[in-house]
């Protein structure tokens, strides 16, 4: 099956700093990628849809100036958490649809801890 990678797998940062998370589709092109956030023992909450060559579409309640998304190429989307605070600590996961939208492949996730 298709492979989606994320980097880094975990990151610890100080409050007020910015963190960039990369999501790559390794063996296929993805014009669309999705970013989710998951708190412990909770479900995946869609944050935004990343579109190659255009602006991301954010879900209601997600601050676009805090969570910057850039879909620079057909295989790379980045999520930057700006001015991170402890409440931003979470598991961030990206996904990409492969050969249609019936199936999405998820990256391994990035665990962000803000001190």
Partner 1 sequence: GQSLEQPSEVTAVEGAIVQINCTYQTSGFYGLSWYQQHDGGAPTFLSYNALDGLEETGRFSSFLSRSDSYGYLLLQELQMKDSASYFCAVRDGAAGNKLTFGGGTRVLVKP
Query: In terms of CB distance, is 57 or 80 closer to partner 1?
Result: 57
What torsion do the CA atoms of 60, 64, 69, 74 make, to the nearest 10 degrees? 50
Q: From 93, 5, 106, select the one nearest 45 (Cα to Cα).
A: 93
Contact status, residue 15 vs residue 115, Cβ threshold 8 Å: yes
List binders of partner 1 among 13-72 (CB under 8 A).
32, 34, 41-46, 49, 57
114 dihedral zone (left: phi>0; alpha: psi -120 to 50; beta): beta
**Cβ-based nearer residue to partner 1, 46 or 76:** 46
Q: How far is the CB of 24 from partner 1 (least distance, A)?
A: 14
Output the smallest distance, CB 97 to partner 1, in A.
7
Residue 27 tokens, joined: 């063996």
Instruction: Enter the DSSP assignment of 27.
Output: S
Would you count residue 82 as binding partner 1 (CB under 8 A)?
no
Q: Which is nearer to partner 1, 44 or 76 (CB)?
A: 44
- Binding residues for partner 1 (CB under 8 A): 32, 34, 41-46, 49, 57, 93, 95, 97, 101-109
């Amino acid at each position: 099956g298709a492979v989606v990678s994320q980097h880094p797998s975990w990151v610890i940062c100080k409050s007020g700093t910015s963190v960039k998370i990369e999501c790559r589709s390794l063996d296929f092109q993805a014009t669309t990628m999705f970013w989710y956030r998951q708190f412990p023992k909770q479900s995946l909450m869609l944050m935004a849809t990343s579109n190659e060559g255009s602006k991301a579409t954010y879900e209601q309640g997600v601050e676009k100036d805090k969570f910057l998304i850039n879909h620079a190429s057909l295989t790379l989307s980045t999520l930057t958490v700006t001015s991170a605070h402890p409440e931003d600590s979470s598991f961030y996961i990206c996904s990409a649809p492969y050969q249609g939208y019936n199936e999405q492949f998820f990256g391994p996730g990035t665990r962000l801890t803000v001190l």
